[in-house]
């Protein structure tokens, strides 16, 4: 069901766009009939919202209405028509299932899309088939995503580094707004905004520039604000350093105290051993303020390096690594390789090894006779006369202690294989070693 079509020359055409509040007031003030107008409620909306095209000052004596997309009243742009008597809407090609017409002529759009943006025309059909047309407009804007703030320097140094904060989310036709400590930006020579306000540059940060910062993006239909962003401004404190009551403690003997300088207020002190956070134990004790670390009965495994970190709300500073020189006696030496049978004419190469700090000094004896004072022993082209008792002696210059290891070497003459592949003709010569 629809109205008969109306010849164009019979139309009364008070076409007009969306009236602004000011002109509306002017019209209201007219003593005679108020003008038919359409108001978008709200005037600007974000996609997904509901918007009402509200009709004001509908004349009496109407037969019905029709709504069109656009201003031209083309039938393929017709959305819905409505007969007042029967209260019955009829839907047309431009209807999208999201429009609802009310008895008073107003048209509700649900879940608007960006595509709904544009002009809409209402035809009010009088009982005498005169037609009054009026146009309104929907302005739909994208729903803005939540922006976030990025910094081009996550740990700027106070009084040194400039920092650029960027409001991430580059969308067209969006305005950017910055807040520091929930306050809008104050003019300052140290703050620079880009032309579009998307980036905020802090020239030479100070500890007072930590924020938090927020950025808000806005279009006429929606606004979205970032999470607060805090800038970690490093202020240079003197670097802490580690001292000790004993730089060269002896293993299993001396307790060692490591102390950190300087003492600063409102600071957290943390120790690191081998780059790992120190774990307090029966042997590793911290003073109440963490500044002194006591190591009871140090061992060679307590060498370190030790590091010390001070943390306060403006900075994190770490000391240079500190290494403890733990002295210990030589362990029992070992001689390698373990092989003790050698063939005449080959080379004899032995190495002696003993852990020690300071490093062990080595000497070799054969059958009680001093041979050499090197860690390695090398005798080329050995003969049966090189058999004997080889002794490696270790000596630690600091503790004066020695260790020893004995290895019996037997040199064989060449062997011959008989026809049954049995070794024959092998002859061992053992020079009985003189005891030490």
Ligand X SMILES: *[C@@H]1O[C@H](CO)[C@@H](O)[C@H](O)[C@H]1NC(C)=O
Binding site for ligand X (CB under 6 A): 48, 52, 54-56, 102, 104, 106, 111, 113, 115, 145, 148, 152-153, 162-164, 168-169, 172-173, 175, 185, 193, 196-197, 201, 265-266, 268-270, 278, 289-290, 299-301, 345, 381, 383, 389, 406, 408, 433
**Closest to ligand X by CB, 6 or 311:** 311
Distance from C-alpha of 203 to C-alpha of 161, rounded to nearest angstrom: 7
CB of 11 or CB of 102, closer to ligand X: 102
Nearest CA to 301 among 256, 270, 260, 332? 256
Give the nearest distance from C-beta 272 to ligand X in angstroms. Answer: 10
For residues 113 and 42, give the distance between their C-alpha atoms in angstroms, rounded to a whole number: 15
Least distance (Å) from ligand X to the CB of residue 421?
Answer: 27
CA distance 100 to 324: 83
- For every residue of 113-167, DSSP letters joined together read -GGG-EEEEEEEEETTS-EEEEEEEEEEEPPPPPPEEEES-SSPBTTT--EEEEE
Contact (CB, 8 A) for 163 and 175: no
Nearest distance, CB of residue 130 and ligand X, angstroms:
21
Identify which of residues 8 and 282 has a Cβ nearer to ligand X in the complex: 282
Q: How far is the CB of 142 from ligand X (least distance, A)?
A: 7
- Considering the complex, what minimum distance in angstroms separates the CB of residue 170 from ligand X? 8
Report the residue number, 10 or 264, with the smaller CB distance to ligand X. 264
- Nearer to ligand X by C-beta: 11 or 251? 251
- To ligand X, the closest distance from the beta carbon of 93 in angstroms equals 12
Tell me which residue of 163, 180, 172, 190 sits closest to 215, measured CA to CA. 180
Closer to ligand X by CB, 86 or 268: give it: 268
Contact between 294 and 260 under an 8 Å Cβ cutoff? The reply is: no
Q: How far is the CB of 336 from ligand X (least distance, A)?
A: 15
Closer residue to ligand X (CB): 123 or 151: 151
CB 286 within 8 A of CB 273: no
Q: Shortest distance, CB of residue 345 to ligand X, whole angstroms?
A: 6
> Which tokens go with 91?
């839907």
How far apart are alpha carbons 367 and 434 in whole angstroms?
A: 5
Place of tokens 């990025």: 150
3-state secondary structure of 108: strand
**What distance in Å separates the CA atoms of residue 158 and residue 359, rounded to the nearest whole number?**
47
| Sole residue written with tokens 């592949």 | 421
In the complex, least distance from residue 108 CB atom to ligand X, rounded to whole angstroms? 7
Distance CA 235, CA 155 (A): 10
Closest to ligand X by CB, 126 vs 300, is 300
Name which of 24, 86, 85 is nearest 57 in CA terms. 24
Residue 405, token pair as written in the block: 């290891």
- Residue number, 241 or 263, with CB nearest to ligand X: 263
């Amino acid at each position: 069901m629809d109205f008969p079509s109306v010849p164009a020359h019979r139309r009364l055409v008070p076409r007009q766009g969306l009236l602004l509040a000011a002109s509306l007031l002017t019209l209201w003030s007219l003593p005679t009939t108020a003008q038919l107008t359409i108001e978008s409620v709200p005037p600007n909306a974000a996609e997904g919202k509901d918007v009402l095209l509200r009709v004001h000052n509908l004349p009496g004596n109407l037969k019905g209405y029709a709504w069109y997309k656009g201003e031209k009243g083309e039938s393929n742009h017709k959305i819905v028509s409505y007969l007042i008597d029967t209260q019955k809407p009829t839907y047309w090609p431009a209807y999208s299932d999201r429009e609802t017409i009310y008895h008073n002529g107003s048209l509700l759009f649900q879940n608007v899309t960006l595509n709904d943006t544009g002009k809409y025309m209402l035809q009010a059909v009088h009982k005498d088939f005169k037609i009054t047309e009026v146009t309104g407009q929907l302005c739909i804007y994208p729903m803005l995503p939540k922006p976030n703030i990025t910094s081009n320097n996550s740990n700027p140094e106070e009084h040194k580094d400039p920092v650029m904060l960027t409001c991430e989310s580059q969308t067209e036709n969006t305005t950017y707004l910055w807040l520091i400590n929930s306050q809008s930006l104050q003019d300052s020579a140290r703050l620079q905004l880009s032309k579009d306000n998307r980036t905020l540059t802090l020239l030479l940060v100070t500890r007072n520039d930590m924020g938090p910062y927020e950025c808000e993006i806005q279009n006429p239909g929606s606004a979205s604000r970032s999470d607060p962003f805090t800038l970690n401004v490093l202020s240079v404190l003197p670097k802490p350093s580690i001292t000790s009551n004993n730089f060269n403690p002896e293993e299993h003997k001396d307790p060692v105290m490591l102390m950190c300088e300087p003492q600063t207020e409102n600071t957290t002190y943390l120790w690191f051993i081998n780059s790992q956070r120190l774990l307090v134990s029966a042997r590793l004790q911290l003073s109440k303020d963490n500044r002194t670390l006591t190591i009871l009965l140090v061992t060679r495994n307590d060498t370190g390096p030790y590091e010390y970190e001070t943390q306060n709300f403006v900075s994190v500073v770490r000391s240079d690594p500190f290494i403890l020189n733990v002295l210990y006696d030589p362990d029992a030496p070992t001689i390698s390789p373990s092989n003790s049978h050698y063939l005449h004419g080959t080379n004899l190469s032995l190495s002696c090894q003993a852990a020690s700090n300071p490093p062990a000094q080595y000497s070799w004896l054969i059958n009680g006779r001093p041979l050499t004072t090197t860690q390695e022993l090398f005798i080329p082209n050995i003969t049966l006369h090189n058999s004997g008792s080889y002794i490696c002696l270790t000596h630690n210059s600091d503790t004066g202690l020695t260790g020893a290891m004995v290895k019996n070497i037997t040199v064989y003459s060449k062997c011959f294989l008989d026809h049954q592949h049995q070794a024959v003709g092998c002859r061992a010569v053992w020079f009985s070693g003189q005891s030490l």
